[in-house]
Amino acid sequence: MKRRSFIRTTALTSVALSIPAIRSFGTNFPPDFQLPKRTLGKTGEKLSVIGFGGIMLNDNTQEFSNEIVSKAWEMGCNYYDVAPSYGNAESKLGPALKPYRKNAFLACKTGQKEAEGAERELNNSFKHLETDWFDLYQLHALTSVEDVERCFAPGGMMEVVEKAKRDGKIRHVGFSAHSVEAALLAMSKYDFDTVMFPINFATWHAGDFGPQVYSKAVEKGMGILALKAMALTRLKQGEEKYDKNVWYRPVTDEEIMKMALKFTLSKEITAAIPPGKSTLFLKAIEFMKDYAPITESESSKLIALARTTEPLFRHG
């Protein structure tokens, strides 16, 4: 089977990606191909437009992890994102990223809301990832106004984050959220460097979920990191997961998948994190070989699809 056919087939199924396939990926790319980079808000950092979602390493071997990280670096991916809640992904990413750590942009998170838990997670993440600093540290998965209030309350996790930043252990501070209200409140409470939020054609057009956070982040000059660009909808009750590390149903039609990614990257987005499956990560890189902003015709197709799709998230 030819390499392109193999990547296409495995990207759209649950077949595991083999190490030989990883090594051969990109052999038909232009010899000087590197992922484009964009500036991250006001930080001055330049990140690859496709980020490495560390969750894809969960429950994979160290050899697999080493190979996919090496291939990502070869393709120009300098942005790596992970969290303690991603199974054993931190422990796999640490050794795999070590040869490139000095020049890589490593982002980590904590889902803890109180200082004690946050400090424990921060120190464990340093240990697992074999580093003594994070380029970006984020409040993870804010889902309610109450979450935000707990983080900023006396004894909240923001005390740990601010101290770690003063001590030089954290260079930039951000948050991820799955709630419009939580995201807007967080932005009003602190001068965050970044926001990580679902920027997806279906949630945007069918769920009115995203435009409010996006416009506020642009207004504030924040770096915007996009989640769920290649997502389609929620799993139905009893529906089998596409992959153990992907909790929703991703787009599986290759043409629509490419348009969905273009929808997101055509906005003032620094980078998009593909779904947590290695084949979809490589497919996103492949799409960047001939990337161009989304056309009016493509936008119309996505809007029509959104009208018949139940989005992952809705506002209100």
Averaged pLDDT, 36-60: 98
18 inside domain? no
Single out the residue of 213, 294, 205 nearest to residue 257, CA to CA. Answer: 294
Q: Per residue in 113-127, pLDDT tens?
A: 999 999 999 999 999
**CATH (domain of 119):** 3.20.20.100
For residue 15, being part of any structural domain is answered with no
> Using 50, 70 and 90 to split pLDDT, how confident is the model at 15?
low
| pTM for this predicted structure | 0.95
Residue 111: pLDDT band by 50, 70, 90 thresholds? very high
User: Average pLDDT in the 263-283 region?
Assistant: 97
Confidence at residue 316, expressed as pLDDT on a 0 to 100 scale: 81
Domain membership of residue 92 (yes or no) is: yes
| Range of the structural domain that residue 86 is part of | 37-234+242-307
Helix (H, G, I), strand (E, B) or coil at 89: helix
Cα 233 to chain centroid, rounded: 17
Question: What's the average model confidence in pLDDT over 154-171?
Answer: 98
Q: Is residue 12 part of a domain?
A: no
Q: What is the pLDDT of residue 101?
A: 98
Sign of CA dihedral 85, 194, 271, 212: positive
Q: What's the pLDDT tens digit per position in 62-82?
A: 999 999 999 999 999 999 999
Is residue 68 one of the residues assigned to a domain? Answer: yes
Tell me whether residue 9 is in a domain: no
Catalogue the E-assigned strands of 143-250: 170-177, 194-198, 223-227, 231-233, 249-250
Instruction: Say how many C-beta atoms besides its own lie within 10 A of residue 209's C-beta.
Output: 24
Q: Average pLDDT for residues 198-214, to the nearest whole number?
A: 98
Is 120 part of a structural domain of the chain? yes
Mean pLDDT for the chain overall: 95
Q: What is the mean pLDDT of residues 211-232?
A: 98
Q: Averaged over 231-258, what is the pLDDT? A: 95
**pLDDT in the model for residue 11:** 43
User: Is there a domain that residue 23 lies in?
Assistant: no
Q: Is 211 a residue whose pLDDT tops 70?
A: yes
CB atoms within 10 A of CB 63: 10
Domain count, the chain: 1
* Consecutive H or E run containing 302: helix 296-307
